[in-house]
Amino acid sequence: MTEQAPFKRRKRPAATPHRHEAGRCLRILRELSAFIDDELQGDICLEIRRHLGGCPRCEEFVASLRQTVSLCRRNPAPALSAKERAKMRERILDAAQSR
């Protein structure tokens, strides 16, 4: 995994407020792990960066995810079973959908 510079929040013009599109945001959230690990094609990364630049909630989530990844690297958790990992992913996606 390559180390990336911290994401810098771009200001949106006040005249064009962000309309949170839950379906689009959820699709972006599903790609974030690969995005942070620099494993996506350039066009998908560009789409995610554009979305993050206009969606404060997703920007906040990415910042939190990057911090979590950093903390996990310093303090590795015990290995989880496939069933435990699946349950954790399900809970994360459920939490993201409920926002």
pLDDT tens figures, 27-78: 887 888 788 778 888 888 888 888 888 888 888 888 888 888 888 888 877 7
Average pLDDT of the segment spanning 21-26: 73
Helix, strand, coil: what percent of the chain each, to 5? Answer: 65, 0, 35
* Cα(36)–Cα(47) distance, integer angstroms: 14
Q: Please report which confidence band the pLDDT of residue 12 belongs to, taking 50, 70 and 90 as the band edges.
A: very low
pTM: 0.49
Residue with tokens 């094609």: 41
